[in-house]
Amino acid sequence: MSLAGARVVVSAGPTYEDLDPVRFIGNRSSGKMGFAIAAAAARRGADTVLVAGPVHLPTPPGVQRVDVRSAAQMHEAVMAALPADVYVGAAAVADFTPRAVAADKIKKVAGQDTLALELVRTPDILAAVSHDARRPRVVVGFAAETSEVAGYARDKLVRKRVDLIAANRVGVAGSGFESDDNALTVYWNDGERTLGPAPKTTLADALLDLVEERLPR
């Protein structure tokens, strides 16, 4: 299979939303799935841009990497990478971020047993890409769920107007976040396909096969 001549943008990893100079809100995403997809796209000849959250992974050969930390920074970098033929939103982007970041470390106060944080919504990167005038020909989202995977994935597919949703159940031993292996069910408007369990490198190629089927020749 080939993506020669195509431009592919992939987002990967977590975002960290700072509370103060030493603390942040984050998640367990390792970035391995998104990095595997970017590597596979580059091997297929694509001009590949990888927007990476804070992870400790080497840049795949032939990939242009843009490092970011927060959801706002990831949104800005992804939109700046358009236009593209394909966007794969494999990042685990924070849905909320603190309204304000404390300039100094938040200290414990004697007699204080609770701490209230005011959070605000972050930019919806997947929806922004799929609704943009420069919309890629194929837009792929990811849905990491702990229950009702199919229902949430299909809702996301319709609501965000994407072409494919790759869904997986997290919190299962041997797959999902931080693991080298995973299992995905990919949904589209009139079908679905289960991929794996398999190494994430294998799943990346299987997912790109589905993407290529939807690219106009």
**Which one of 27, 168, 182, 189 is the catalytic residue?**
27
b/e sequence 71-96, b meaning 16+ C-beta within 10 Å: bbbbbbbbbebbebbbbbbbbbbbee
Q: What percent of the chain has pLDDT over 70?
A: 95
Distance in angstroms between the alpha carbons of the first and the last residue of the chain? 13
CATH number of 7-95+116-213: 3.40.50.10300
182 is catalytic: no
What pLDDT does 26 receive? 95
Nearest alpha-carbon partner for 36 in 210, 211, 206, 185: 206
What is the pTM (predicted TM-score) of this model? 0.93
Where are the domains positioned within the chain? 7-95+116-213
What pLDDT does 149 receive? 81
- Average pLDDT along the chain, 217 residues, taken 10 residues at a time: 93 97 94 97 98 97 98 98 98 96 92 91 97 97 84 91 90 61 93 94 97 88
